[in-house]
Amino acid sequence: MAEFSLALNDDQVQLRDWIHTFAKDVVRPAAEEWDEREEFPWPIVEEAAKIGLYSFDFMAQAMMGDPSGLTMPIALEELFWGDAGIGLSIFGSGLAAAGIAGIGTPEQVMEWVPQCYGTPEKIALGAFCVSEPDAGSDVSSLRTSAKYDEATDEWVLNGTKAWITNGGIAAIHVVVATVDPELRSRGQASFIVPPDTPGLSQGQKYKKHGIRASHTAEVVLDDVRIPGSCLLGGKEKLDEKLARAREAKTNPQPKPSGKQPAMATFEATRPAVAAQAVGVARAAYEYALEYAQERKAFGKAIIENQAIAFMLSDMITEIDASRLLVWRAAWLSRNGEYVNAEGSQSKLKAGRTAVWVTERAIQILGGYGYTREYPVERMHRDAKIFDIFEGTEQIQQLVIARAISGLRIE
């Protein structure tokens, strides 16, 4: 087990500086353009692939190669400091990769995770498909069905997924579907839909408030047939899990075991999402600080006014507190030491901080902050998503409340 330390080692410092340089020189100059275009920034992701940032090797090192668990939070904070929409375009495939790594067999991980990224010469994308038009936070109500065809050893998927990052343009779609509706979330499984599989198509593409450079769309599954080997974890493991869950419906012992595929992925990625929010908040704070030092009113820099100085003091304090929760959660997750709901605590705090800090940044800039001429307006739009996706603010509160009370709070 790695020792928890707030002092970054040489490799982590080099990683931070490397990604910060990329964010400053490549991402930030392109942020306004791709926000306005509301299109996936293929050229920027290709640049990330050329330097090895968008790659299976980097993700493997970030997810498994660092015993401290801090590689991913450090990388994400710096990249999202550059821009949240482009940052999500670069790291959006990581959610699909995490979904495969969390449930799949070693053979499935090695086969499918690299295909979520492609190569520097021809990049590919991954998409993790959970939410539906009538099932966002309530993953137990998923209607997308998976039926097994014994005659062909194939699974047949039908349904519509909603709000999917990279949905429809990804090479690899990881789809969470219901095998046994009576078991609700315990009757679900995750499936790989390989590239160019007939029956999978993109539905509507959403026009969003923020993170506009990230592609978000519906994914429609119409009699999508996939090989039996595309069931993550394998059929034997699924059959055992379903049998335990069915027994538990009438007999409290044994309790159902096995990971719920969607929740297992979200548990692993919440500190990462929180780190993204920290990056956005830090970017807004730094811009507001620089503005306050240069902007003059009544004959002096506005930072010399207590009202402005105190706002900035609170902003940096909340950012640093959020980062500490993120690092703690990331270390605990990497070392298998989760006790209660530390991942949810980090996401709850960081999401709230991003929204509040970016709003304060607009306030410090005044009328200028409310215009698109200055980036804090875009940062504020981007920040709100961190209170919503991968578990809303209220879902994080529910997870935390259940952990500290030991009760099934609804």
Catalytic, 390? Answer yes
Pick the CATH number of 126-250 from 3.40.50.620, 2.102.10.10, 2.40.110.10, 3.40.50.1820: 2.40.110.10
Q: Is the pLDDT of residue 272 over 50?
A: yes
- Give the model's confidence band at 256: pLDDT under 50 very low, under 70 low, under 90 confident, else very high: very low
* CA–CA distance, 173 with 196 (Å, rounded to integer): 10
Mean pLDDT for 349-362 is 98
> Phi/psi of residue 46, each to 5°?
-65, -40
- C-beta separation of 402 from 340 below 8 A: no
Name the CATH topology of 261-405: Butyryl-CoA Dehydrogenase, subunit A; domain 3 (1.20.140)
The model's pTM is 0.93
- Give the model's confidence band at 359: pLDDT under 50 very low, under 70 low, under 90 confident, else very high: very high
Q: Is the pLDDT of residue 291 over 80?
A: yes
What integer pLDDT is reported at residue 396 of this predicted model?
A: 94
116-144 per-position pLDDT tens digit: 999 999 999 999 999 999 877 777 789 99
What integer pLDDT is reported at residue 261 of this predicted model?
A: 60
- C-beta separation of 328 from 68 below 8 A: no
Sign of CA dihedral 30, 330, 401, 262: positive
* % of the chain beyond a pLDDT of 90: 81
- C-beta separation of 280 from 76 below 8 A: no
How long a stretch of residues is the chain? 410
What integer pLDDT is reported at residue 257 of this predicted model?
A: 46
72-130 per-position pLDDT tens digit: 999 999 999 999 999 999 999 999 999 999 899 999 999 999 999 999 999 999 999 99
- The two tokens of residue 71 are 């590689």
* % of the chain beyond a pLDDT of 70: 95
What integer pLDDT is reported at residue 264 of this predicted model?
A: 58
What are the angstrom distances between the C-alpha of 378 and each of 20, 178, 228, 369, 375? 19, 38, 44, 10, 5
Cα torsion for 128, 26, 19, 348, to the nearest 10°? -50
The catalytic position among 132, 337, 390, 393 is 390
41-73 per-position pLDDT tens digit: 999 999 999 999 999 999 888 877 788 899 999
332-344 per-position pLDDT tens digit: 988 888 777 999 9
What integer pLDDT is reported at residue 262 of this predicted model?
A: 59
pLDDT-wise least confident of 132-146, 195-209, 317-331, 372-386: 132-146
Helices (H), 295-305: none
Sign of CA dihedral 399, 186, 234, 114: negative
pLDDT-wise least confident of 17-31, 150-164, 386-400: 386-400
Pick the CATH number of 10-116 from 3.30.565.10, 1.10.630.10, 1.10.540.10, 3.40.50.970: 1.10.540.10
Domain boundaries, the chain: 10-116, 126-250, 261-405
Q: Which residue in the block uniquely carries the two structure tokens 């069905």? A: 145
